[in-house]
Amino acid sequence: MTRPTSLPLIQILRALAALMVAAGHAQFEVAGVAARAGIPYAPAAWLPWPAGVDVFFVISGFIIVHAASPLHGRADARRTFLAHRIARVVPLYWLATTLYLGLALLRPGLLGAGAEGPAALAASYLFWPMARADGAVQPLYSLGWTLNYEMAFYVLFALTLPLGPRRSVLAVLALLAGLVVLGQAAGPLPVAPAFWSDPIVLEFACGAALALARQEGWRLPGPVRLALAIAGLAVLALAGEAPALPRCLAWGGPAALLVAAAALGPAGTAGAGLRPFVLLGDASYALYLAHPFVVRGVRVVAEAAGLAAPLGPGPLTVLMLVLAGLAALLLHRIVERPLTRAARALLEPAPKPEPAVNKV
C-alpha cells in the first residue's frame, strides 16, 4: 500500500492537519513562556487547533480504503494489509515512545510525564487503551491516543477485506456504527470498549465512504469542491475549541467536507508551487509525532538563552513550527522511510513460488 500520489490535495490536507495540531501545542508552550515573562499573550483562536486530529481521522479512512483496493481478491490480503500498516505506524511510534520514556526518566519535569506502571507501559506499546494514573485514557506518549483508534480501525477493515471493494466498505461502516450504538446503549463499559465505541470513530467511516464514492466514479467540479473547502473551514472556525455539538459533528463534519473537497476531484500531480506542501504531507506522521519534542526544546532553549522576550510570542510560535516542519522532513527521510522499508521486509509475506512448468 502506498500513498495516493495522484491526489496531491490529500497530501496537502495531511500537512494542514499536522500543522494544526502542532500550532495548538506551540501556542500552549508560548503561553507558558509569556506567563513567566509577564508578556500579554492570547493564542490565536480562528481555528480549533485540536481538530487537526479529526481531519487526520477522515483522511485515514479515505486513504486506507483507497490504497487497499489492489489487495481485494488476494488470498494474503489481510496479512499483507496489516503488515503494511504495522510497518508504517509502529516503528516511528515506538521510537517516539521510547525517546519520551528515556527523557521522562532522565528529566522527569521536562515533559510533565507522570509515573506509570509496567502495565500502562506495555499498553502504550501495544496500542491498547488504558487509563493512566491521572484518569486520562492515554498512552505514555499522550499523542498515541489517536493511534489506538487507528489500529482498531485497521483491524476492523482487515476483517472485511475478503468481501470485495464495495462490500468491505459497507461492512466496516456497519461495524463502526454498531460500535457507537453499543457504546451509547450498553451503559458503562470497560475502558477499552468504551474508548473504541466513542462516536469519533465515525470520522473513519466518513473517510471510508468518501473513498467508496471515488471508487464508484463520483467526481465534483472545481467550484463545488472549492465551496466545500470554504464551508469546512468556516464551520470549523464557528465551532471553536469548545463546541456545543459532539466532537464528531462539530469537528468531524467540517473535516469530512475538507476531505471531500480534496478527494472527489480529478487525479493529477502537484505544481511546483505546491510541491513543498506535498512533501510536508508525506512527512505529516513524522511531524505529528516529533513536534512536541521540537516545540518544547525551542521553549527550553529560548528561555535559557534569554531570547523568549526579545523574540516575542508570534515569532517564537512561527520559529517552533518552522523547526518542527524541518525536523519532520529530515526525520521522514533518514529515519521513517528506512524503518518502514525494513519493517515491511520483515513482516510482508513472501510471494509464493510459481509452479514449475515442464519443458517439452
pLDDT per residue as tens, the chain (360 positions):
444 447 899 999 999 999 999 999 999 999 988 888 788 888 888 899 999 999 999 999 999 999 998 988 888 899 999 999 999 999 999 999 999 999 888 877 666 555 578 898 999 999 999 998 888 899 999 999 999 999 999 999 999 999 988 999 999 999 999 999 999 998 888 999 999 999 999 999 999 999 999 999 999 999 999 999 999 999 999 999 989 999 999 999 999 999 999 999 988 776 777 889 999 999 999 999 999 999 999 999 999 888 888 888 999 999 999 999 999 999 999 999 999 999 999 998 666 555 555 443
Predicted TM-score of the model (pTM): 0.92
pLDDT tens-digit readout, 306-317: 888 888 899 999
Phi, psi of 177 (to 5 degrees): -65, -40
- Distance, in Å, from the CA atom of 286 to the CA atom of 95, rounded to the nearest integer, reads 11
| 3-state SS assignment for residue 131 | strand
pLDDT tens-digit readout, 38-78: 888 888 888 999 999 999 999 999 999 999 989 888 888 99
CA-to-CA separations, 30 to 47, 197, 273, 289, in angstroms, rounded = 17, 35, 30, 19
Whose cell is 508552550? That residue is 29
What element of type H or E holds 213? Answer: helix 202-215
| Boundaries of every domain in the chain | 8-347
| 3-state SS assignment for residue 137 | strand
Of 256, 221, 270, the closest CA to residue 8 belongs to 270
